[in-house]
C-alpha cells in the first residue's frame, strides 16, 4: 500500500478510535445514580492519571535525554505551565458564568475544564503520530514503528473517548450531545497529526514540552473535579476501586502498546 495512504489512514484512525469510545455512551440504559457516577468519575480519573504519567510525562523525560542531568526540566516546567493554564481557564470560566448569573455555573465550569483537558491531551498525541509518520517518510524508512505507535494510541483512545462522554452525559442528560463532545475532544488529533507530518523535522524538540503541558492540565482537572466526585460516601470505596481499575487498564495499554 502507498506510504502516503498509510499515513493518512494512520492519522485518521486515532480519531475514529476516540469516536468509537464516545459511542459506548449509548449503551447506558438509565439515568446515572450516585454509585454509578462514583464509578465513572473514579474510572475516568484513573485513566487520566495513568495517561498523564505513562503517555505524557515519561515520554517527555525520555525525549529530553539530550539535556543530560537536566532531562527532567521540560517535564517539570511543562506540568507547572499546564496546571497554571487550566487554573487561568478556571478563573475565566468562573467570571464568565458569574456575569451571566448561571445557576449551573459550577457544573458547567467543571465540564468545560474536563473536556479542555482531554483536548489538550490529544494535541501531543496527534503530534507524536504525525512526527512518527513524517520522520519515516522523510528518511524513506519503514513505517512499522509509526504504525505500532498509532495502534497503541488508538486502543488507548477508546477508554479516553468513553471517559469524556460518560461524565458529560451525567451533566447534560443527553447521549447525543455527550457522544458529540466526546468525539470532538479527539478531533484535534488528526489535525495535529497532519501538522506533525508536515513539520516533522522542524519542532521535534518542543514535543516534550507539549507532552508535559498536557499532563499538567489533565492532573489538575482530575484532582480538582473528578476525584472529589468519585468519593460520594465515606463508607463506600467503589470510586477508589474504579480509579485503580482505570489506572491499571490505561497503564497496561500504554506500556504494552
Grid coordinates belonging to 42: 473514579
- Cα–Cα distance measured from residue 111 to residue 222, given in angstroms and rounded to the nearest whole number: 12
Q: What is the pLDDT of residues 192-209, one digit of tens each?
A: 888 878 876 566 677 788
Per-residue confidence at 100, pLDDT binned at 50, 70, 90? low
Tell whether 33 is covered by a domain: no
Summary mean pLDDT of the chain: 79
Q: Which residues constitute the domain of residue 145?
A: 3-26+48-256
Q: Which of 28-37, 54-63, 119-128, 162-171 has the lowest mean pLDDT?
A: 28-37
Q: Predicted confidence band at 73 (pLDDT cuts at 50, 70, 90)?
A: very high
Residue 7 domain-assigned (yes or no): yes
Confidence of residue 141 (pLDDT cuts 50, 70, 90): low
Residue 165 domain-assigned (yes or no): yes
Evaluate whether residue 40 is within a structural domain: no
pTM value surpassing 0.85: no
pLDDT for residue 75: 92
Residue 31 included in any domain = no
Considering its fold, how many domains does the chain have in total?
Answer: 1
CA distances from 151 to 86, 115, 145, 146, 161 (A): 29, 23, 10, 9, 15
* Cα-based torsion angle of the residue sequence 223, 124, 160, 73 in order, rounded to the nearest 10 degrees: -30
Q: Is residue 119 part of a domain?
A: yes
Query: What residues contact 143, with CB distance under 8 A and at least 6 apart?
Result: 3, 6, 7, 10, 133, 136
Q: Is 38 part of a structural domain of the chain?
A: no
% the chain with pLDDT above 70: 82
Is residue 34 one of the residues assigned to a domain?
Answer: no
Q: What is the pLDDT of residues 149-172, one digit of tens each?
A: 677 677 777 877 887 888 788 777
Question: Measured between alpha carbons, how far is residue 153 from residues 120, 129, 132, 161 in Å?
Answer: 15, 8, 12, 12
Amino acid at each position: 500500500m502507498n506510504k502516503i495512504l498509510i499515513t493518512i489512514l494512520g492519522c485518521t484512525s486515532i480519531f475514529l478510535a476516540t469516536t468509537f469510545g464516545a459511542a459506548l455512551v449509548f449503551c447506558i440504559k438509565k439515568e446515572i445514580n450516585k454509585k454509578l457516577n462514583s464509578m465513572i468519575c473514579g474510572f475516568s480519573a484513573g485513566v487520566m492519571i495513568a495517561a498523564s504519567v505513562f503517555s505524557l510525562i515519561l515520554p517527555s523525560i525520555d525525549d529530553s535525554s539530550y539535556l543530560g542531568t537536566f532531562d527532567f526540566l521540560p517535564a517539570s516546567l511543562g506540568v507547572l505551565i499546564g496546571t497554571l493554564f487550566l487554573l487561568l481557564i478556571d478563573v475565566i470560566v468562573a467570571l464568565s458564568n458569574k456575569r451571566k448569573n448561571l445557576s449551573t455555573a459550577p457544573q458547567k465550569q467543571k465540564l468545560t475544564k474536563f473536556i479542555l483537558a482531554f483536548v489538550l491531551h490529544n494535541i501531543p498525541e496527534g503530534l507524536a503520530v504525525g512526527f512518527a509518520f513524517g520522520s519515516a517518510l522523510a528518511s524513506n524508512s519503514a513505517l512499522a514503528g509509526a504504525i505500532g505507535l498509532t495502534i497503541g494510541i488508538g486502543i488507548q483512545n477508546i477508554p479516553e473517548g468513553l471517559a469524556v462522554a460518560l461524565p458529560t452525559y451525567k451533566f447534560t442528560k443527553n447521549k447525543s450531545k455527550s457522544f458529540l463532545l466526546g468525539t470532538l475532544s479527539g478531533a484535534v488529533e488528526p489535525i495535529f497529526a497532519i501538522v506533525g507530518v508536515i513539520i516533522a523535522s522542524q519542532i521535534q524538540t518542543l514535543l516534550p514540552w507539549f507532552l508535559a503541558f498536557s499532563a499538567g492540565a489533565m492532573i489538575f482537572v482530575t484532582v480538582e473535579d473528578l476525584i472529589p466526585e468519585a468519593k460520594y460516601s465515606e463508607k463506600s470505596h467503589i470510586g477508589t476501586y474504579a480509579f485503580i481499575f482505570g489506572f491499571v487498564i490505561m497503564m497496561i495499554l500504554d506500556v504494552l502498546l
